[in-house]
Amino acid sequence: MAAKKDQLKEYKQRRNLKKSPEPKGKVSKSKKKAKVPIFVIQKHDASHEHYDLRIEIDGVLKSWAVPKGPSFDPKIKRLAVPTDDHPMEYADFEGVIPKGNYGAGTVMVWDMGTYENLKLDSMDDCYNHGRIEILLKGKKLKGTFALVRTLLHNSKDWLLIKLRDEYASAEKNPVSTQKKSALTGRTMAQIAASESKKK
């Protein structure tokens, strides 16, 4: 199990949650082991557009920023930079983080679903060892993916790699062909416009 320290400390420190509509966040205490773990990928139009991959591990969403987003081509290794753990409620956050706040910009739930751990070790151990292999059951992403911590000296970066299976494809490019929200069907522009109307 995770240590007792607040896993969301960095998440809270970086944000002014009185000014941003993002979830306040607490570590999920649910002990119900029957629940299937989830993942989400949020397209985030911040200073640089990127895709935030978040995987439920031990009551929080472990997170990586993937600048180019996922690929279905097993030959392509996509850089995945680890970021702060996010609260579980963040999984269905879609909207606009106001200017002047950390991560300011439009956030879309680009993909969402459940996953299966393909390794015999717990997800927590896989994360700590820097080697995760999961079967994604999302609306856009399906099949097996690996997240691997790079072995380069002092690097904290990971790589997101499609594993070979019936969903692998060098032609399919979900990032450029599937541009609408998995949660609401909206485009980035529609999300941005509807949030500015609220004011």
Q: Does 52 bind Mn ion (CB under 5 A)?
A: yes
Long-range contacts of 117-122, Cβ-Cβ distance < 8 Å, separation of 24 or more? 117/37, 118/144
Q: Is 22 in the site for Mn ion (CB under 5 A)?
A: no
Rounded least distance, CB 153 to Mn ion, Å: 26
User: Closest CB to Mn ion belongs to which residue?
Assistant: 44
Q: CA nearest 86: which of 127, 26, 128, 31?
A: 26
Using CA atoms, how far apart are residues 58 and 64, in angstroms rounded to an integer? 16
Q: Three-class SS of residue 193?
A: helix
As given in the structure block, the two tokens for residue 27 are 């570590």
Chain centroid, CA 80 distance in Å: 10
* CB 44, min distance to Mn ion, A: 4
Among the listed residues 8, 15, 38, 44, the single contact to Mn ion using CB under 5 A = 44
Number of residues in contact with Mn ion under rule CB under 5 A: 2
Q: Which is nearer to Mn ion, 22 or 56 (CB)?
A: 22
Residue 141 CB, shortest distance to Mn ion, in Å, is 18
Q: Among the candidate windows 31-39, 43-51, 114-122, 162-170, which touches Mn ion by CB under 5 A?
A: 43-51
CB of 63 to Mn ion, least distance (A): 8
How far is 119 from 114, CA to CA, in rounded Å?
16
Phi, psi of 36 (to 5 degrees): -80, 130
52 vs 111 by CB, closer to Mn ion: 52
**Part of the chain binding Mn ion (CB under 5 A), chosen from 19-27, 41-49, 69-77, 92-100:** 41-49
Does 94 sit near Mn ion (CB under 5 A)? no
* Residue 88 near residue 29, CB atoms below 8 Å: no
The dihedral through the CA atoms of 27, 31, 32, 35 has a sign that is positive
Q: Which part of the chain contacts Mn ion (CB under 5 A), choosing from 38-46, 125-133, 147-155, 164-172?
A: 38-46
Residues in contact with Mn ion by CB under 5 A are 44, 52
